[in-house]
Amino acid sequence: MSHRIGLAIALFLLTAGQAAASSPSLGVRMDIVVDGRPLPRYAAYGTWYVEALKDKDYEIRLRSPWPVRVAVALSVDGLNTIDARHTTAASARKWVIGPYETITISGWQTSMTAARRFHFTSERKSYAQWLGKTDDIGIISAVFFRERIPQPVTLTPPSGTPRSEASAGAPPSRSRPAPSAAGESNAAPSAAAKADEYAATGIGRRTEHPVTEIHMDLEDAPAASIDVRYEYRPQLVRLGILPAPPADSDPLARRQKSRGFAPGFCPEPKRERW
């Protein structure tokens, strides 16, 4: 299915996707998707964790359970996915989701027509490092704001005016400043994650991602928020979120069990008859 998504303040994306960590009882979801499949998520330390897959592109799928449009402030490594700025969720530029819809955000929006793919990499090769903003690496955050629905107001007719001449009105929507999109860099693939290497998000290959801007009047308070943290497997093991691998699968542990001597003689290969 194709539909418009928006940068609220908003952009409308001209592509769609499907779904997600969940916000309690609200039905909002956020999935981190690799090769078309959501990564398994693990509840720990009061939040969600997923295992980052070294050198893999990923997407973020967002689902709205509300019958009204919502605008979502979406950040990766503390950077807004639309303009790479670090702001509050309320003041951030946002993606728009229609009633009950699910959208897919595949990368950093670099223009009105293109994006650069989200890409698991090392801190050293991350987009945040390139921008010099490394304080919030390792977290993906989505904050949902519902569109404000004007409430009908019944006006009291002036004295002496028949009620049939009274009119009803609604307060006008607040106007919001138009956004601008920005941000680019380079990311290079590298070997499998090491025990002392930490996951971050790079800026990968260019992809078509047309958007259009709209203006929305949003509720002041967010309706829901979701955080997902991501780490490579060795760090998830250190945190106790994933079990340690069996000792036999560790080459160093296997080598530590080596012994110099055992009873017996050298086996002799069978000799062919001459």
Q: What is the pLDDT of residues 7-52, one digit of tens each?
A: 544 555 543 333 345 454 478 999 999 999 999 999 999 999 999 9
Pairing of strands 211-214, 6-8: parallel
DSSP of 44-57 = ETTEEEEE--TT-E
Where does the pLDDT of residue 192 fall: very low under 50, low under 70, confident under 90, or very high at 90 and above?
A: low
What average pLDDT does this structure show over 111-138?
Answer: 96
| pLDDT higher than threshold 70 for residue 122 | yes
Whole-angstrom distance, CA of residue 147 vs CA of residue 66:
10
Strand, coil or helix: 66: coil
pLDDT in the model for residue 177: 34
The overall average pLDDT reported for the chain is 80
pLDDT in the model for residue 130: 96
Q: What is the pLDDT of residues 85-95, one digit of tens each?
A: 999 999 999 99
Where does the pLDDT of residue 270 fall: very low under 50, low under 70, confident under 90, or very high at 90 and above?
A: confident
Of the candidates 228, 230, 229, 236, which has an alpha carbon nearest to the alpha carbon of residue 28?
Answer: 228
Name which residue leads in pLDDT, 126 or 185.
126
pLDDT in the model for residue 267: 78
pLDDT in the model for residue 239: 95
pLDDT in the model for residue 82: 97
Whole-angstrom distance, CA of residue 102 vs CA of residue 112:
21
DSSP of 76-99 = ETTEETTT-----TTTS-EEEE-T
| pLDDT higher than threshold 70 for residue 246 | yes
Name which residue leads in pLDDT, 230 or 21.
230
Where does the pLDDT of residue 184 fall: very low under 50, low under 70, confident under 90, or very high at 90 and above?
A: very low
